[in-house]
Amino acid sequence: MKMGLRHRLMLLYTLAAAVPALIGATLVMFYLSRQLRDTMKQFQQQTQASLQDYRHWIEGSTQTLLTETFTTVREQINRDLSLQQSQLARQQSQLIGKALGTLGQRTASSTESLQAGIARTLLQTLDTTAEGIARSQSQALRQLETSAADTSRDAIRQQIEQTNLNLTVNLSRQVNAAIQSALTQLTLIAQQPALQRADLQESEWILRALQDREPSYRLLCLRNATNEKLLTISDFPAPEERLKPVTNQLWQEMTHRGEPVVGEVVMVDTGDGPEPVVPVLVPVRERGVELRGAVGALVAMDNLNALIRTFRIGQHGYAMLCTADGLILAHPDARRIGQQETQFAPLITDAGSMNPRLQEINGWLVALAPIPSLNACLIAVQPTDEAFRLATALQSHFLQARQQQQQALDNTILRIRQQASRQVSQQMVQHHRQLQQAIQRAEQQTRQEATRMLDAQQKAAQRGMDQMLTRSLLQSQHHLQQELSQLAHLSDLSRQFTALTATLQNQLKDQMINASLVGLMCMLLFMLWGSLYLYRTINMPLRALVEATQTIAGGDLSRRVQLPTRNAPELQELADSFNQMVDALVKAEAQLVQTSKLASLGTLASGVAHELNQPLAIIRGVAQQTIQMLSRLQSLSPSGGEGTGEGTWIRQLLDDMRIIERQTQRMSQIILHLRTFARKPRVDREPVNLNTVAENALILLREQLHQRGIELVEEYESSLPPVLGEPNSLEQVVINLLTNARDALEGQPDGRVVIRTRRVQESGREWVELCVQDNGPGVPPDLRMQIFDPFFTTKEPGKGTGLGLSISLEIAQKHGGTLLLGDSPAGACFILRLPAAAQQQHAA
Ligand code: ADP
């Protein structure tokens, strides 16, 4: 298998990293093990010598130390003992103080709780007494309040009863007066002779006059001696059927008693709704004795109604008039007249008693006063709240007063309580102070006693300690001597130490091998990581590059290189350049296609031109012959054919033929030029006049500029020296410059192209310049450097190839000249500068 660059790189890296690392590790291990062996040997020798020295030194110094220690320990123990004793004394006194303190606290707290108990009981008693006082006082006040409210309610009730009675009396008086006045008036009317004679017409006048004067007569009638109606005066149709029984009863009563009679109130519809009226019947007697008939009337109670309507008790109270059956005769609300009273019915139907009475029904205070003359009753009603508002106000007043008194009482009790608690606390403070003094005295006495006891204890302990110390010091001397005898075993210890160092050496060796292994592992890991890194940064991008190139080489130009990582900037740069190269390749391919198309078109054009040239030459020849013939014919005709029809015809034909001749000549020129242009460029150069080059280029482009409305200005220097060059290539340059100018002026209304030639002297040399200038948009400053690059174009796709200027520049340079974008205030000005031919030849 063939090893690629990437694999060789990886192998190289592995060898470069692993071999020196392995050699280095082996050397280090060898050196370290030698060092370790030498060090261990030295350490063993030194340790044995120091152990011997140490043994001698310990034997001598232990004896001295033992004696010194004995004395020091004795002194130390004595010091410690006295210190401990003094501590003990301190602790004892603290304990006593603490016990006394606790005793004092307990005594104080029990005294305080006792005092607090007394104070609590005192305050509780005070509270109970205050509550008792408050309760009895509020009871008394409540009783007073209730009795006052009851009294006020009774008084109000009596007052309302009285008011209603007064009203009833008033009303009955008015009713009686009205009825009496009606009876008097009707009696007077009944005494009128017309009525006695039963003169109906006159009687009608009289009764009408009466009704006009007194509208409360709703109906007036005249009856004969057999109770037949002779005449009726009424503003409304009288309900005969309803009135008949009433009239009959009144007739009987009147004939029986022999005087005017008044009936019970009846309701009649007078046209404005039901109205209560009083039926009256007055006898008509002749000379005051013989009964001739009667005058009947229905008297309305207008005054009574007005009185009831205007009547008010309080704000919402009102009165009404009802029959004993509950039929409403008068009411403030006119719609209720004639209806049955249901709300206060229980009081009305209690008709047994004819006395005034009062009752509360459904939140209303209802007062009833009978009117016997009408067999009716007057009812005065008022909402209970309103009626007893005074009593309620009185009650709330009382409640307020009671609350104020209660407040005052509470304040007094609070004051007494505060005074009592102040006195109790003062007494408590006094008691506390006395107790403290007693406790302090007791503490002093106890302390003195404890100090005495402590001194005695201290002396006894001193004695005991001394004896114990002597005993223990003797014992430790004996033990130390025994220990010293054991130092003889030190040589054994040294042997053991040697064995230990050997073991240690072996262990160290093992550890070194382990460390080397770990180092190797780390190295391997590092190598692995390095390989991975190389794989990612070199291998993978290279593979991507290779794959992409293979794909592109296979003909897929749409493929671009995409590196899998960004960690390789150089490779990324390579990939970018590669991608740019492919882009350029795509453009070049397109251009190649276009160029090959143009080439075949050129060949075709040259063939077509050749084919066309023949017929054109014939047409031109024929035209020229015809012109000659016509000219001759014209010259032969008298006076040149002027003024005759034939002469005009010949002249016209001559003109047309000349046009054909001119145009065919032009066509031949174009064809000739096309053939010349399509020819391959010659390698050898010849003297070329740039004016001719410009004119030849314009053969192809003049018409195009003209069609687009672009003005063409030609300024050629007449004595222009020739240049040495290949005419077709130079014409190609001028055509490119003119085509760019044409495209730049596309759609511009006042487009103008100037083509100018001149000779220039510069740095002692002669040059020939051809300048193509337009007044288009010009080249933006940031693009000035790029326009000569191959494939750079700003034109729409399909219109520009971006090769025109780059090819032109190349041609200019091949001719030893330059092609520049000159400075121009508006539009663009391209200058082709070539060395003059004489000079060039001279230089060559
Ligand atoms: P192409 O004409 O195919 O675009 P060229 O190399 O001839 O290629 O021109 C390159 C670019 O230079 C044009 O696309 C245009 O942007 C600019 N350029 C050339 N001539 C002119 C001009 N007379 N006025 C303005 N821009 C021009």
> In the prediction, which pLDDT does 183 show?
87
* Token output for 633: 């014919």
Instruction: Find, among 237, 191, 185, 219, the residue nearest to 296 by Cα.
Output: 219
Evaluate if residue 522 carries a pLDDT over 90.
Answer: no
Residue 774 Cα to ligand 1 midpoint, Å, equals 12
The residue-averaged pLDDT of 144-173 equals: 71
**What confidence tier does 775 reach under pLDDT thresholds 50, 70, 90?**
very high
- Closest ligand 1 atom to the C-alpha of 806? 6
CA angle centred on 680, ends 679 and 681, rounded to 5°? 115
Question: Whose C-alpha lies nearest to ligand 1, atom 13?
Answer: 793
Residue list, ligand 1 pocket, CB within 6 Å? 736, 740-741, 744, 774, 776, 778-779, 787, 792-795, 800-806, 828
* Token output for 662: 């001119």
Locate tokens 């040294």: which residue?
494
Residue 785 Cα to ligand 1 midpoint, Å, equals 12
Q: Identify residue 786 by its one-letter amino acid code.
A: Q
Sign, CA torsion 418/424/425/426: positive
For residue 680, CA distances in Å to 440, 547, 688, 735, 756 come to: 142, 42, 17, 17, 27
- Closest ligand 1 atom to the C-alpha of 792? 10
**What confidence tier does 22 reach under pLDDT thresholds 50, 70, 90?**
confident
Conformational region of residue 692, where left means phi above 0, alpha means psi within -120 to 50, and beta covers everything else: alpha
Contact 724, 840 (CB under 8 A): yes
Evaluate if residue 351 carries a pLDDT over 60.
Answer: no
Evaluate if residue 734 carries a pLDDT over 90.
Answer: yes
Contacts of 817 (CB under 8 A, 6+ apart): 723, 767, 832, 833, 834, 835
DSSP alpha helices (H): ranges in 325-388?
A: 345-348, 384-387
Across 699-724, b (16+ Cβ under 10 Å) vs e yields bbbeeebeeeebebeeebeeebbbbb
> In the prediction, which pLDDT does 149 show?
67
The residue-averaged pLDDT of 119-137 equals: 73
pLDDT in tens, 607-655: 787 788 888 888 989 999 999 988 888 888 766 556 667 778 888 888 9
Contacts of 669 (CB under 8 A, 6+ apart): 699
**What confidence tier does 592 reach under pLDDT thresholds 50, 70, 90?**
confident
CB-based burial of residue 382 (10 Å sphere; 0-12 exposed, 13-18 middle, 19+ buried)?
A: buried
Q: How far apart are CA 71 and CA 68, in angstroms?
A: 5
Residue whose CB lies within 8 A of the most ligand 1 atoms, among 786, 793, 824, for a mutation test: 793
Distance from chain centroid for Cα 581: 54
Residue whose CB lies within 8 A of the most ligand 1 atoms, among 710, 787, 820, for a mutation test: 787
Question: Which helix (DSSP H) or strand (DSSP E) does residue 472 occupy?
Answer: helix 389-485
Q: Higher-confidence residue: 146 or 190?
A: 190
Q: How far apart are CA 480 and CA 476, in angstroms?
A: 6
- Closest ligand 1 atom to the C-alpha of 807? 6
R_g of the chain computed on alpha carbons: 77
DSSP secondary-structure letter at 10? H
> In the prediction, which pLDDT does 844 show?
42
* Token output for 124: 């509780």
**What confidence tier does 1 reach under pLDDT thresholds 50, 70, 90?**
very low
The residue-averaged pLDDT of 424-432 equals: 75
In the three-class reduction of DSSP (H, G, I as helix; E, B as strand; rest coil), residue 225 is classed as coil
pLDDT in tens, 35-56: 777 777 776 677 667 666 766 6
Contact 20, 28 (CB under 8 A): no
Angle in degrees, 0-180, between the axes of helices 490-534 and 5-190, rounded to the nearest 10: 80
Residue 601 Cα to ligand 1 midpoint, Å, equals 24
Contacts of 661 (CB under 8 A, 6+ apart): 620, 623, 624, 627
Sign, CA torsion 657/658/660/661: positive
Entry pTM: 0.36
Q: Phi and psi (nearest 5°) for 802?
A: 80, 15
Instruction: Find, among 768, 760, 713, 781, the residue nearest to 741 by Cα.
Output: 713
Contact 706, 717 (CB under 8 A): no
Q: Tell me which range, 295-304, 613-622, 690-699, is most confidently predicted by mean pLDDT.
A: 690-699
Question: Whose C-alpha lies nearest to ligand 1, atom 7?
Answer: 804
> In the prediction, which pLDDT does 738 show?
96
Sign, CA torsion 218/222/226/229: negative
Q: Phi and psi (nearest 5°) for 410?
A: -60, -40
Question: Whose C-alpha lies nearest to ligand 1, atom 3?
Answer: 800
Provide DSSP, 142-203: HHHHHHHHHHHHHHHHHHHHHHHHHHHHHHHHHHHHHHHHHHHHHHHHHT-HHHHHT-HHHH
Question: Whose C-alpha lies nearest to ligand 1, atom 12?
Answer: 787
* Token output for 131: 């509550």
In the three-class reduction of DSSP (H, G, I as helix; E, B as strand; rest coil), residue 773 is classed as strand
For residue 523, CA distances in Å to 20, 486, 514, 527, 824 come to: 11, 55, 14, 6, 70
Question: Whose C-alpha lies nearest to ligand 1, atom 19?
Answer: 740
Question: Whose C-alpha lies nearest to ligand 1, atom 14?
Answer: 793
Residue 599 Cα to ligand 1 midpoint, Å, equals 22
> In the prediction, which pLDDT does 98 show?
80
- Closest ligand 1 atom to the C-alpha of 802? 8
What's the mean per-residue pLDDT of the chain?
Answer: 80
Residue 793 Cα to ligand 1 midpoint, Å, equals 6
Evaluate if residue 198 carries a pLDDT over 50.
Answer: yes
CB-based burial of residue 338 (10 Å sphere; 0-12 exposed, 13-18 middle, 19+ buried)?
A: middle
Locate tokens 């093992």: which residue?
510
> In the prediction, which pLDDT does 193 show?
87
Evaluate if residue 94 carries a pLDDT over 70.
Answer: yes
Q: How far apart are CA 418 and CA 11, in angstroms?
A: 107
Residue 15 Cα to ligand 1 midpoint, Å, equals 58
Question: Whose C-alpha lies nearest to ligand 1, atom 25?
Answer: 778
Q: Higher-confidence residue: 189 or 61?
A: 189
> In the prediction, which pLDDT does 462 show?
62
CA angle centred on 249, ends 247 and 250, rounded to 5°? 65
> In the prediction, which pLDDT does 567 show?
72
Q: How far apart are CA 381 and CA 160, in angstroms?
A: 10
Percent of the chain with pLDDT over 70: 80
**What confidence tier does 828 reach under pLDDT thresholds 50, 70, 90?**
very high
> In the prediction, which pLDDT does 307 show?
78
pLDDT in tens, 361-403: 888 888 887 777 677 888 888 888 887 776 677 667 767 877 7
pLDDT in tens, 456-489: 766 765 666 566 656 655 665 566 556 555 555 5
Evaluate if residue 710 carries a pLDDT over 80.
Answer: yes
Question: Which helix (DSSP H) or strand (DSSP E) does residue 426 occupy?
Answer: helix 389-485
